[in-house]
Amino acid sequence: MASSSDIFPGLAPGIDLLGTLRPYVRHCGDPRRPAWKMEMRKLLDYLLVFIAEGRGEFVIGGTRYQAEPRDLFWIPPDTPHRMEGYAPSMVCPYVHFDLLYRPEKSHWDFSIPEGMLEFGELQPLLHPPLEAPALTALRGRIRAHNNERVGELIREICREAARAHPYAQLRMSGLMLEIVAEMLRGQSGATGETGNAHLPLLEETADYLRQHCAEDVSVESAAELAGLSPSRFRELFRRHFGRAPREYLRQARIMRAKQLMVGSDLTLSQIAGRVGFGTVHSFSRAFKETEGIAPSEYRRCGGEVYTRVEGRTTPYSR
């Protein structure tokens, strides 16, 4: 007898969340921090932090964690937590967000100070509890094969917020849905057709491509890093990431360029050189093919900034 999932293919894991989740991004940032500390507090919304560089210590709901590169920390509302980053510095992209957008209550914009453990008159702004076991299970330190992908999505939210182009909030909401999907996949061990054995190596190789995207990285050297033949590496990489290694490398270069365009005053020629393109013309052509607009257009501010973005000191207009 056919199951309901055979008759109705849409009844896949997580489909029930489509009727629940309406993410709203409130505050984000991707700065480099010197040694820092945030004493115990509770939040009205969710906080997601990715450790890109450096080390520290997080205490979430009474559990102490050593924070290391590639770790993710998911802090639900009304959860006591303390955070510290060790010297010399830490890079930890983060995003404050609601999973349920409430037009009458979601548009508050202030920072919760350390030491706040009682909300008092702010209690009505507290994010309501979710009746979704898969999401309520997310808490504390998350270690999964796709943490780097989640970290890059957080950084993309930061870039989108800083650009403030039309419909930025709508796109950031979509990126948050993608983040939730990636985290649930990571927690469930979902692998598609790739197989568990090669996932860690593929993720490490993808991280290598991102970190060395400005260099002339060959598919052969990446395959050697993964311990696979070039043909097998291409096949598994495409299955897992949905694109060939060369395409992934070009996307990594574009991502790095977008970060420099938003957060620096470098010229387009300087940025092209820093991310591995031979000329500004080849960079512009690749950027337009990937993003659908020219780099100069991407750099222009689209309007008023509605989402707070930490770490930006240069003017928005260019």
CB 186 within 8 A of CB 142: yes
CB count within 10 Å of CB 227 equals 11
pLDDT of 46 reads: 98
| Residue pLDDT, tens place only, 201-215 | 888 888 888 888 888
Among 188, 210, 242, where does a domain finish? Answer: 188
Q: Does the residue 9 lie in any domain?
A: no
Question: Rounded to an integer, what distance in angstroms lies between the CA atom of residue 64 and that of residue 67?
Answer: 9
Exposure string over 265-281, b if 16+ CB within 10 A, otherwise e: eeebeebbbebbbeebe
- Length of the chain in terms of residues written: 318
| Residue pLDDT, tens place only, 80-91 | 999 999 999 999
Q: Does the residue 6 lie in any domain?
A: no
Q: Considering its fold, how many domains does the chain have in total?
A: 2
Same-domain status, 31 and 168: yes
121/5: higher pLDDT: 121
| Residue pLDDT, tens place only, 108-159 | 989 999 999 999 999 999 999 998 888 999 999 999 888 988 999 999 999 8
- What CATH number should be reported for the domain holding residue 32? 2.60.120.280
Question: Rounded to an integer, what distance in angstroms lies between the CA atom of residue 298 and that of residue 288?
Answer: 10
Same-domain status, 31 and 161: yes
Q: How many CA atoms lie within 13 A of 135 on its CB side?
A: 22
- Phi (first) and psi of residue 53, to 5 degrees: -145, 150
Same-domain status, 26 and 105: yes
Is the pLDDT confidence value at 96 over 80? yes
Same-domain status, 146 and 31: yes
Same-domain status, 73 and 127: yes
Confidence of residue 306 (pLDDT cuts 50, 70, 90): confident
Q: Which domain holds residue 270?
A: 197-299
Same-domain status, 180 and 258: no
Question: Rounded to an integer, what distance in angstroms lies between the CA atom of residue 9 and that of residue 243?
Answer: 25
Same-domain status, 169 and 276: no
Q: Does the residue 308 lie in any domain?
A: no
Whole-model pTM? 0.81
| Residue pLDDT, tens place only, 157-202 | 998 898 888 889 999 999 999 999 999 988 876 544 444 567 778 8
